[in-house]
């Protein structure tokens, strides 16, 4: 009970302190996720105040915390994007997801296999876990006064949409080596039918139906004056939890279902409703984002990182440099919003690794018991928080000076 109270006080103090200086943080080289991670490191490995291993199954705790954080973040992105943006930029997004994402998976897997002492299947699982652009860290890069004042909307919105979509679509890439490692008689058939068809396609359909029904119900309730302001402001949070729990209960991809729900819901609301829902969702997003990074800081396997020796820094440098940038530059002519070289370079660099990698590393650990994926993924998350967090504001300001209107 003492640790619980310490954890609650630490979370509350951290969120409160960062909220009071949020404008300064947006202009500095220290991003809120990075600071929250450092608070967790200080409270756990350094000072020994908190130890998640004493709370129960720490891997299960992190998996569910990451899933909830991703759900809230994806709903916020769906409400933040311009209306019908994912449909207008469908060709570019399909190229990024259908070709870019598998290439990033193969690049990450090949680098992990070459640098670390891993089997091919383990390298494929690690590569799949870290190939997606994380929507939680990406949101801290593309929102705030510095980003909106210096970075073009076509860069910010496309990065947000890509990170939201590929977060859920990373599931088939993670599950393929897991199924190949398992004892199933027909792993490819199981992958096609259970993973692609049921978990992915059905998740999108269910999410779209749920979002449309919720948006329609909200409009009817407003038209008949059945809803008051407090009920209105919690609508999207309740919808997020409903989509997460319902999709998971049906065995589908709950992460992808939440984004489909948010996009469909967003098509039914607009104007004042849309702006108010987006604001409350962003506030909730901040509250859920910081605690999960504090939890990661508490859990970092620093002894396993040290045991990697030179391979640890080599993995970080190679994947941060080669996982995304070459792929984006290769596909640049087909990605309309990123066709210009300066924007393509920005998009190639800002592909952070974060909560989604933790979620899939926990999934791999639960399904296979493989600890090495968690070690590699957590190291890459910590490095990405540092490198992308520190470089976000300076590069945004540099771009604004050189290329801004």
**% of residues, the chain, pLDDT over 70:** 92
pLDDT at 278 over 70: no
Predicted local confidence at residue 404, as pLDDT: 64
Is 210 a member of any domain?
Answer: yes
Predicted TM-score (pTM) of the model is 0.92
Is 26 a member of any domain?
Answer: no
pLDDT band at 282 (very low <50, low <70, confident <90, very high): low
Stretch 88-110: mean pLDDT: 95
Mean pLDDT in the chain?
87
Within 10 A of 401 (CB to CB), how many other CB atoms are there? Answer: 9
Stretch 21-49: mean pLDDT: 83
Q: What is the pLDDT of residues 105-154, one digit of tens each?
A: 999 999 999 999 899 999 999 999 999 998 888 877 777 777 778 888 88
Is 25 a member of any domain?
Answer: no
Q: What is the pLDDT of residues 314-333, one digit of tens each?
A: 999 999 999 999 999 999 99
Is 6 a member of any domain?
Answer: yes
**What residues contact 352, with CB distance under 8 A and at least 6 apart?**
133, 134, 137, 138, 141, 384, 385, 388
Is 367 a member of any domain?
Answer: yes
End-to-end CA distance of the chain: 55
Cβ atoms of 70 and 359 within 8 Å: the answer is: yes
Could you tell me the residue range of the domain that residue 303 belongs to? 2-20+31-403
Is 348 a member of any domain?
Answer: yes
Q: For the residues of 225-277, what is the DSSP string, one character each?
A: T---HHHHHTHHHHHHHHHHHHHHHTTS-HHHHHHHHHHHHHHH--HHHHHHH
Return the CATH number at 177: 1.20.1530.20
Is 159 a member of any domain?
Answer: yes
Most confident of 316-320, 387-391, 397-401: 316-320
Total number of domains constituting the chain: 1
pLDDT band at 263 (very low <50, low <70, confident <90, very high): very high
Question: Smallest Cα–Cα separation from 368: which of 22, 118, 91?
Answer: 118
What are the structure tokens assigned to 161, written together? Answer: 């949409």
Stretch 207-234: mean pLDDT: 81
Q: What is the pLDDT of residues 358-378, one digit of tens each?
A: 999 999 999 999 999 999 999
Q: Which residue has the higher pLDDT, 233 or 158?
A: 158
pLDDT band at 79 (very low <50, low <70, confident <90, very high): confident
Predicted local confidence at residue 284, as pLDDT: 65
Predicted local confidence at residue 199, as pLDDT: 95
pLDDT at 157 over 70: yes
pLDDT band at 219 (very low <50, low <70, confident <90, very high): confident
**% of residues, the chain, pLDDT over 90:** 56
Is 100 a member of any domain?
Answer: yes
């Amino acid at each position: 009970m003492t640790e619980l109270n310490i954890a609650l006080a630490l979370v509350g103090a951290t969120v409160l302190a960062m909220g009071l200086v949020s404008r300064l943080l947006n202009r500095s080289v220290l991003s809120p996720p990075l600071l929250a991670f450092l608070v967790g490191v200080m409270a756990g490995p350094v000072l020994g105040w908190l130890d998640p291993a004493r709370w129960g199954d720490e891997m299960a705790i992190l998996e569910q915390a990451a899933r909830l954080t991703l759900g809230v973040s994806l709903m916020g992105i769906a409400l933040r994007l311009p209306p019908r943006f994912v449909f207008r930029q469908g060709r570019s997004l399909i190229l990024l997801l259908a070709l870019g994402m598998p290439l990033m998976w193969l690049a990450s897997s090949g680098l992990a296999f070459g640098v670390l002492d891993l089997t091919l299947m383990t390298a494929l699982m690690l590569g799949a876990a870290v190939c997606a652009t994380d929507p939680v860290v990406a949101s801290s890069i593309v929102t705030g006064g510095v980003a909106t004042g210096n970075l073009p909307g076509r860069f910010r919105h496309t990065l947000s949409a890509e990170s939201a979509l590929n977060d859920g679509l990373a599931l088939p890439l993670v599950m393929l080596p897991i199924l190949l490692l398992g004892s199933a008689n027909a792993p490819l058939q199981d992958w096609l039918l259970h993973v692609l068809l049921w978990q992915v396609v059905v998740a999108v359909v269910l999410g779209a139906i749920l979002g449309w029904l919720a948006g329609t119900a909200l409009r009817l309730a407003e038209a008949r004056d059945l809803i008051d302001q407090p009920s209105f402001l919690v609508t999207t949070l309740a919808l997020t939890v409903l989509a997460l729990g319902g999709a998971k209960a049906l065995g589908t991809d709950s992460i992808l279902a939440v984004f489909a729900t948010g996009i469909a819901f967003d098509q039914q609301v607009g104007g004042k409703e849309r702006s108010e829902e987006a604001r409350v969702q962003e506030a909730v997003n901040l509250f859920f984002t910081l605690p999960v990074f504090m939890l990661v800081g508490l859990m970092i396997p620093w002894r396993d990182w040290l045991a990697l020796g030179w391979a640890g820094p080599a993995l970080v440098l190679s994947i941060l440099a080669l996982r995304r940038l070459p792929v984006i530059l290769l596909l640049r002519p087909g990605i309309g919003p990123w066709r210009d070289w300066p924007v393509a370079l920005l998009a190639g660099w800002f592909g952070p690794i974060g909560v989604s990698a933790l979620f899939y590393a926990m999934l791999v650990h639960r399904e296979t018991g493989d600890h090495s994926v968690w070690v590699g993924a957590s190291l890459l998350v910590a490095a990405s928080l540092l490198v992308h967090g520190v470089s976000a504001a300076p590069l945004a300001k540099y771009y604004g000076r050189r290329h801004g209107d």
